Amino acid sequence: MKTAQEIKDIALERLQEAAILCDNGKYDGAFYLAGYSVELMLKAKFVNVLMLIICLMKLAKILARLEMPLRYMIFHHCLYLVA
């Protein structure tokens, strides 16, 4: 799987290509590539959210092994960092 940054880079390339097509009067192709660029940006955001969920699941497994007071202290600290 590509990283979110790699997907964003591809999206920006497609957007530049769409601008070139638009400048040359190829509006249908420009519209298509611009839409594809938006799709890629959304995919990059999804990858970021997915990675966050995976990290939180790993953290939950680690917290489950800790004693109760320490678990709550770490959990609330992590919530503070995310907020």
The arithmetic mean of pLDDT across residues 57-76, rounded, is: 71
Average confidence (pLDDT) over 13-25: 97
Q: How many domains does the chain have?
A: 1
Residue 31: pLDDT band by 50, 70, 90 thresholds? very high
> Are 25 and 44 contacting, i.e. CB atoms less than 8 angstroms apart?
no
Q: Which domain holds residue 55?
A: 4-82
Structure tokens at 19: 């601008």
Single out the residue of 58, 11, 57, 38 nearest to residue 3, CA to CA: 11
Burial of 17 (0-12, 13-18, 19+ CB in 10 A): middle
Q: Is the pLDDT of residue 22 over 80?
A: yes
